[in-house]
Structure formats: C-alpha cells, structure tokens
Amino acid sequence: MPRLFRFVPAARRGLAAGLLAALTLAGLASVGPVPAQAQVFDPETFTLDNGLQVVVVTNRRAPIVTHMIWYKAGAADEAAGESGNAHFLEHLMFKGTDKLGPGEFSNIIALNGGRENAFTSYDYTGYYQTVARDRLEIVMQHEADRMTNLRLTDELALPEREVILEERRSRVDNNPGGKLREMIQATLFLNHPYRIPVIGWEHEINALSTETALAFYRRWYAPNNAVLIVGGDITAAELRPLAEKYYGAVPARAVPERKRATEPPQHAPRRLTLKSPQVSQPGISISYLAPSYNSAGNEHAYALQILDEILGGGTTSRLYRTLVVEQAIAASASSGYSATAYDLGTFGFHASPRPGGDIAELEAALRAEIARTLEDGVTEAEVATAQRRLRAGAIFARDSLGTGPNIFGRALTTGRSVADVEAWPERIGAVTAEQVNAAAREVFQDNRSVTGLLLPAPSAPSGE
Amino acid sequence: MTTDMTPLGSIDMKPRSRVLAVILILALIPALIPALILTAAVPARAIEVQRVISPGGIEAWLVEDHSNPIITLDLVFRGGAALDPAGKEGLANLVSALIDEGAGELDSQAFQGRLAELSISLSFSAGRDTFSGEMMTLTENREVAFELLRLALTEARFDEEPVTRIGSQILAGLARDSQNPRSIVGRTMSKVLFPEHAYGRPVSGTTATVPAITAAEMRRFVAERFARDVMVIGVVGDIAAEELARRLDQTFLGLPAAAAPMEVAETTPVAQGGVVVIERDMPQSIVAFGHAGIARDDPDYYAAYVVNYILGGGGFTSRLYAEVREKRGLAYSVYSYLNPLQSAALVMGGVATQNERVAESLELIRAEWRRMAEAGPSETELRNAKTYLTGSFPLRFTSSARISGMLAGMQLHDLGIDYLERRNGFIEAVTLEDARRVAARLYDPDKLTVVVIGRPDGITATRPAPPLDG
C-alpha cells in the first residue's frame, strides 16, 4: 500500500483496531470516573481577522512541530464530471508559486530537515510539514504563499495527471478488493457525491486540466475556508505573531456554501459480487448508511461508536468471539464506523471465512449476529466495558505528536468545534444501553444496505 | 470517509523491519528565528538514556518521561524466522501469534480479556533475524501488564483451540498472499536472491509447513529461544529506574540464562543481473530490483546511507523521483533503500508503472544506477543530503513507542548508549570522496536483478520465475 495518511495513536495491535477503525475520536475517552469537564488535548485557539481559524496543541516531547493547513473542501465538493479534481489540485500544489519554482518548497523543507505530505478526502484537503521548531517560520511563509499564489502550466500539470492515473492503477485497478470497495461505495450512495471515488473515475481524470484545478483552487482555497493547526513544542502566544504575519496577509474571499446532493429514501437492499482469479481468500462486507456527527440523526453518533466497539472491537468483541472463536467458521470478523463525515457516514461489517469454509454459511452467521443485536440488544455491562476500553484512548492519543492535530483537523473541517472534541469523553460516557439499541435499530435496516462479496474466479489462462 | 490520498507513496515491498534506532534531540531554541537559515548547525544534546540493571542482572535502556501516564516496552530476542527448521517454516511467526493466546491459568479468551479490559496492548512478531515484543500500558495497569508479558514469555499454553484458529488465520493470509501481486514479487525476489539460503524461505511459512508445526515444537521454541543472553529491552515513559529494575527481575528472571546455539550462515545474494517476469493480467506492472548491499557494521555504511538517500531514498527530492515521476509522470512511486540483514546485505528498489512504460522506466532506473556508480553525487547533492539527514533526525521522536523501539534497536546493533549524540557526526563525516568511492562500490547496473509482475511491454525475461511454495 502506498503510505496512507493515517494517524493511529501509538497503540499497537489490539488497541489499534478500535482506534484505527474510527479515524476519529473513537478510542479517546477520559480515564477514571468521567469528570464534568474532561479535557482531551486542552488546545488553545484563536481566529485571524481574515477568518483563518487556528488551533495549537502543545506537546513538549521534542523540540519539533507539526504544521498543518486543512481546507474545508474535498472530493465531494467537485463540479459534476470532474471527479479527482480535488486530489489533482493537491498534487499540483507542489508545482510552485509566483515566488517559488516547481518543487522548490519541497527542496526547502528537505534542506531544513523537514518532512511533508498532503492528503485529500471527501470533505477536506490537507498539507503538512514536520520540522524542528526553529524552522516553523519557513514553512509557514511558503504554505501561506501557496494558499494564494499558485502558478500552474500545462507543462507541469499534465505529467502529474499521469502520476495520478498510476496512483489509481496501484490503489484500484490492480486490486480486486479496491475495485469492489469502489463499487460498494457507488451503490450505497445513490445520489450524494460520496458515491464517486476520491481519486476519480479514470475517464474523468483523463479530462482534468490546469483550468479545472485552478478553478477548484480559486473557488475553495481561502483563509476563511481553512484551519491552521500546529502541534508540538509551541504555544499560541508564540505562534500568533507568525500566523498574523504570514497567513494574516492573505485576504479573505467569498467562498460558496458547501452544497451537496442529498440521499433519497432507499427502498431495496443491494448485493454485489466481484469474482476474480486474483482472489483466493474470499470475503464479505455488509455496509449500512449511518448518521455522522454532522448529519441528520447525529444523536446516534456516540451510541454507534459504543456499538462498534461492542460488536467489532478486537479479539473479545461479539463478532470475533462468536464467529472466529466459538463457531470457528471465520478467520476474521470485524465492524467499522466513522462518525466524522460532513454528511452521512457508514457502518460496516467485514468477515472472511477460514480456508475451505463456506462463504454462505459465514454470511448467515454474520446476519444472525446482527439480528441478535436488534432483537436482544446490548447489555449495560457491555456498554460499561466498551466505555472503559475506550477511555484509555484519550491518554494514548496525547502521546503521539500527530494525533491531536489530525483529530482537530478532521473535526473542524466537518462541522464540529474544538469544544465538541474536548467534550467527547463526557458524551461517550453518557451513552446508555437503551441508546445503543435505538441506534442499532436506526442503522441496521436492510433497505439501506449493500452486501459485497469478493470471490475467487477460475484462473485466467495466463496465471503465474 | 477514509479514502485519503497522498502524493508521496512508498510500496510495501519495503520490508517493515524496524528502522535503526537513532535519537537525538535538538536543544530548545528560545525564540523563533527568522526564516531561511537553511543550514544552521543546531546545537544538539542527547535525551537522557539510562542504563538500568536489575539486581538479577537484567539490563534495559530507559528514557523516563512522566508527562503522560503511559509506559511502553520493546523487547527483542536475537534469532528469527531464518532459524526455522526445514519443513517447519513459519514456526517463529506462529509462536509470535500464539503466546498471547493463553498462558498460565488464563485461557485464550481470559488472557485477551484481561488485555482488553485494562487497555493493555501486547503483541509479538517474528522477523528474519529477530523475535520482537511490544507492550504498552497505562501506568495504573502496569502490574498486570508486566505479569501478562511474563506469562506470555514463560507459560504460553498453546491450547488446541487457539492453535487451530490462529493457524487458520495464517493460512487465510497465505491464501491471500498467493494471489497478491506485491507479495508474489517480494517472495519471488527473496527466492531469486537466496535460492539456497534461509532468507529465501517465507517467514510465514507455507500451506504445507504451517499445519505441520506441533504444540510441542512451539514449546521447545519458547524454551530454547527466549533467553536472557539474546535479549535487549527498551523502555519509555512513566516509570522510575528503581521500579523498572524491580519489574525486570519479576518479568524476565524466569527466562533461561542462555539460548540454544543458533547460527545463520553468512551469505551473498545471488544477483548477477537478469530479469524475471511473472505474467499477470493487470494494467500496471509492479517491479522490484536490487543486488548486494553494504552491511550495517561496515565502515562505509553511513556513506552508503547518504548516497542512497540521493539516488532513491529522499521523498520528493531523489534522482529516481525526479527522473521517473516528476519529469515524465511514469509512476506514483519509485524508490531505493538499503536492507542490511544480519547475514547478508542488500540494496533494493521498486517502481509500479503501466505495462506500456515498464521498459522506459527500467531504462531510466538503470541509467541513474549507472550514473551514480560512475560519478557519485555532486557536492551540492551531498551537502543537501547531509543537511536533511541530520536535521530530520529529531523528527523520529514522535511517540513513546517509536523511542522505545529505537532504544531496543540501538542495543541490538551494538551502537552504544551514546549513539544518539554521535549519530549525526557519522553523517557529517561523509566526504565527497567517500561518497563517490562508496557509490562505485555499492551500485552496479549490470548486477541489478529485476522481478516484474504484470504484462510489461518490451521486457524479455532472461530466466524463468522460481516456483513459489504454496
């Protein structure tokens, strides 16, 4: 896999499952009895006159800082027919400005012993550098520069389009599991742009141009549509003068409201089967539309995180215990829920049979567990255990330099506030079994689901 | 939504072996200094690494950090999967997956339940040369965490249920790997480079060998291999040296003093050039390439490290990146890296590109390999590489777990407890003359051995693919 941008708190196997599944605050919680004002990261925040929101997460472990700019625009904000454009622009942001030549910012970062990268998702696009704290001003100067002075030519942009096509081949076209995930997403969402892959459909990537990228840039990239997050060996008082000097000089611009097509009612379950000679270990997934923190039905978001933990969190979860250990029909079984979408999220199940096992039998057993959850519900004891399991995560999350900045970046670009992040332990701690059961009934509806099967196909004549 | 894309990728054929342990912390700079001081030498001081020796003689290296109530411990035993007996390939890996699946009085679900309940993370893994363990716990749960670690190392049960279950999980993974193009390329390359040596065999074993491993053999593995004379320990976090000393004895004194004799023959990879093609119907070919490298304890290691950074190790700035990706858009990722195994050294690389352009990409890579061998880096490239490699050193300190891993690695490679203070000096000491001499010694385009999977145009195999064990 290419290096996905994915910050997992320093926890290892076991804990990591829960923390990873969420890419969010799942796994963060308070320790001990939940105090009235539990603090997770205790950040400092301020806003510049031009509307740029700033968050500082101090971490004194080493004299280094992680500097991130997050734009509140991603693949779901692209114009129709221009899929992949947000990601294309992200690549082109490294191609220079009025002041710096192509790749020059990267060279400057390397010359200062820094590391950098960028990422694009449905709801946000981000750029970051990690540097020694005395080099922070240098990266701020140039990141602010490319917020407004990007310069592109076809000569620079068109080879990068080829790079993105190669990236697509690596992630999707070469990989039957990747192709199936793309089909599932396109089927689960009937109308919302989450149905379109972030990296873009190949034929639409081919039609992207310098002009489409610049149009996206001019529409969305502005200080009043961005969040600056700096984590590490620094305080707000130290950061503020630099933020004002560099980002403060970028004028605010009118940015359109994010308007996405919404989902209609869904009336039928869907089922997809992808067979490929490249598959030798079958798998099944069942995905349901689910509310996020920011969508209609968001009162269920915290309960769904508890539910995810009870059903699929690690080797003592319900699914692992029943399907993998007791019935001994699955090699793996897990669940996954992310609450951080700007619009609707998904709640998914994944399982793979033991070698020689029957996928139909496994599907029946998985569905029986979902049905049991709906009929019998979860117990208060299970909820308490999940809350206790999650609560240690807050401390583990504080350990690593990048975790806090990433959680704030995701929250603040998807409709939440710093206070929401800090209140997370309290809200998780307040969830009752009754609420978890209500959330399960709300989400586990066949008519809002897609079942995906990844199966072997007879070998093509070539083979190895 | 979780589909994040990055412009800078690296491919997983790169072995995930623990990066060599290195730490150094730049001194705090009191105020932010003006921009664009590109190469300022920053005064450096080491973080305090304490050598803790328990009353029973167990040694651990410790970095105390009481800012969060967390303790991480990294444990490495010398001796890994390369020691698996013939016909029992996958033994070390299977043991690593089973010793936390029931130990002492606790059966599998009880053991895992204790870990889950207290949010203790405990995991083990087998590499070619080492067997590693990692523990992470809240300070308040340390008593149980150390006890569970002790039980896993000394009283693993290997009950029938977890043995069958974990065995089936490994077999499921092998089945997946058998069709995974990246895995096929990696395993084929190992076989090509080490046809007669243990390094050519799969760490996870095969569908034939994994079911042949018995509980008795795993118990013997535990008894013979987990011993104090082959063990190194790194600890970071909220624990004082005196307490750690006590817990070291409680946890590790029950291990035997000495491991059974172990030897992996020194070897040289078989890489005399040549191309292996594995035909596969997919739009993009995946390519691995490499030949013999430079050992970790070779005096030229640091020069090789710097030179490789310039050729293919540096993210957005390497020669391979510039020629293959930046100028021509041939690939999303292209790179090279040193892979100094304990008994053989390699320099390896990879690229993935559409079938139509594999030949062009390989031609460029060979040309860069040759150019570096013949002329070495320029003075500017060398200066820039040294600036990056020394300046980025403190960026490795991003979490407790990374630091404890480094402490264990420093001991494993006999780098000395003051290595953190000396490491940047080794990089700084590389002269242009060294770099050119070592580039000529390291890179040989005629020996570059290539494995391709896909339907590459214009590539002719010079030898058949070796059969892979199922």
Mutate to test the interface with A, among B5, B169, B397 (most CBs of A within 10 A): B5
Q: Give how far B319 is from chain A: nearest CA, Å.
A: 13
Confirm or reject contact between A108 and chain B (CB < 8 A): yes
Q: Looking at the partner chain, which of A15, A131, A197 has a beta carbon nearest the beta carbon of B119?
A: A15
Section A327-345 average pLDDT: 96
Q: Is A216 a residue whose pLDDT tops 90? A: yes
Check residues A139 and A20 and name the one with the higher pLDDT: A139
In percent, how much of chain B has pLDDT > 90? 86
Q: Is A73 exposed, middle or buried (0-12, 13-18, 19+ CB in 10 A)?
A: buried
Confidence of residue A390 (pLDDT cuts 50, 70, 90): confident
In percent, how much of chain B has pLDDT > 70? 90
Residue A267, token pair as written in the block: 């009336």
Give the amino acid at A144. A
A90 in catalytic set? yes
Check residues A29 and A407 and name the one with the higher pLDDT: A407
CB contact under 8 A, A163 and B65: no
CA distance A341 to A291: 9
Asked whether the beta carbons of B193 and B449 are under 8 A apart, the reply is yes
Confidence of residue B102 (pLDDT cuts 50, 70, 90): very high
pLDDT of residue B470: 65
Nearest CA in chain B to A158: B329
Q: Give how far B119 is from chain A: nearest CA, Å.
A: 6
Question: B88-107 burial by CB neighbour count: b if 16+ within 10 A, else e?
Answer: bbbbbbbbbbbbbbbbbebb
Residue A219, token pair as written in the block: 């529409």
Q: Is A25 a residue whose pLDDT tops 70? A: no
CB contact under 8 A, A112 and B402: no
Phi, psi of B76 (to 5 degrees): -135, 130
CB contact under 8 A, A2 and B39: no
Task: Return the SS3 of A347.
Answer: strand
Q: What pLDDT, in 10s, does the model give residues A366-376? A: 999 999 999 99
DSSP result, A363-432: HHHHHHHHHHHHHH---HHHHHHHHHHHHTHHHHHHHSTTHHHHHHHHHHTTT--HHHHHTHHHHHHT--
CA atoms within 13 A on the CB side of B226: 28
CA distance A38 to A424: 8
Question: A164-196 burial by CB neighbour count: b if 16+ within 10 A, else e?
Answer: bbbbbbbbbbbbbbbbbbbbbbbbbbeebbbbb
Confirm or reject contact between A155 and chain B (CB < 8 A): no
Q: Is B13 a residue whose pLDDT tops 80? A: no
In DSSP terms, which residues pair with A120 in a beta bridge? A125, B5
Section A403-422 average pLDDT: 96
In DSSP terms, which residues pair with A66 in a beta bridge? A130, A231
CB contact under 8 A, B112 and A316: yes
Chain A residues with CB-CB distance to B136 below 8 A: 10-12, 15, 396
CB contact under 8 A, B332 and A167: yes
Confidence of residue A393 (pLDDT cuts 50, 70, 90): confident
Section A131-154 average pLDDT: 96
CB contact under 8 A, B387 and A169: no
Q: Is A247 a residue whose pLDDT tops 50? A: yes
CA distance B158 to B166: 10
Chain B residues with CB-CB distance to A315 below 8 A: 112, 116
Q: Give how far A173 is from chain B: nearest CA, Å.
A: 7
Confirm or reject contact between A1 and chain B (CB < 8 A): yes
Residues 6+ positions from B131 with CB-CB distance below 8 Å:
B76, B77, B79, B80, B92, B95, B96, B124, B125, B225, B226
Q: What pLDDT, in 10s, does the model give residues B112-149? A: 999 999 999 999 999 999 999 999 999 999 999 999 99
Residue A73, token pair as written in the block: 């625009």
Section A89-107 average pLDDT: 96
Check residues A297 and B21 and name the one with the higher pLDDT: A297
Looking at mean pLDDT, say which of A7-11, A36-40, B98-102 comes out highest.
B98-102
Asked whether the beta carbons of B172 and A331 are under 8 A apart, the reply is yes
pLDDT of residue A392: 80
Q: What pLDDT, in 10s, does the model give residues B169-183? A: 999 999 999 999 999
DSSP result, B256-290: -SSPPP----------SS-EEEEE---SEEEEEEE
Confirm or reject contact between A355 and chain B (CB < 8 A): yes
Q: Is A294 a residue whose pLDDT tops 70? A: yes
pLDDT of residue A459: 66
Pairing of strands A125-132, A270-276: unpaired
Q: What is the mean pLDDT of chain A?
A: 90
Phi, psi of B138 (to 5 degrees): -70, 145
User: Choosing from A78, A82, A90, A309, which is the catalytic residue?
Assistant: A90
Q: Is B14 a residue whose pLDDT tops 90? A: no
Sheet of A270-276, strands arranged across: A270-276, A449-456, A283-290, A345-353, A330-337
CA distance B204 to B92: 8
CA distance A163 to B353: 9
Q: What pLDDT, in 10s, does the model give residues A423-459? A: 998 999 999 999 999 999 999 999 999 999 999 997 6
Residues 408-427 of B with CB under 8 A from A: none
CA distance B282 to A85: 25
Residue with tokens 């919404």: A262
In DSSP terms, which residues pair with A287 in a beta bridge? A348, A450
Domains of chain B (ranges, CATH numbers): 50-252 (3.30.830.10), 275-454 (3.30.830.10)
Residues 6+ positions from A274 with CB-CB distance below 8 Å:
A176, A179, A180, A183, A452, A453, A454, A455
Residue with tokens 């519900």: A377
Nearest CA in chain A to B166: A331
Question: B298-334 burial by CB neighbour count: b if 16+ within 10 A, else e?
Answer: eebbbbbbbbbbbbbbbbbbbbbbbbbbbebbbbbbb
Residues 308-337 of A with CB under 8 A from B: 313-316, 321, 324-325, 328, 331-332
Mutate to test the interface with B, among A168, A235, A464 (most CBs of B within 10 A): A464
CA distance A183 to B333: 25
Apex B305 CA angle, B300 and B306, nearest 5? 105
Q: What pLDDT, in 10s, does the model give residues B321-368? A: 999 999 999 999 999 999 999 999 999 999 999 999 999 999 999 999
Confirm or reject contact between B333 and chain A (CB < 8 A): yes
Q: Sign of the CA dihedral B406, B412, B416, B419?
A: negative
Nearest CA in chain B to A106: B316
Q: Is A24 a residue whose pLDDT tops 70? A: no
pLDDT of residue A460: 52
Domains of chain A (ranges, CATH numbers): 51-249 (3.30.830.10), 270-456 (3.30.830.10)
Pairing of strands B121-126, B334-340: unpaired
Prediction pTM value:
0.89
Find the DSSP H helices in B355-468. 358-375, 379-391, 400-412, 419-428, 432-442
CA distance A454 to A173: 15
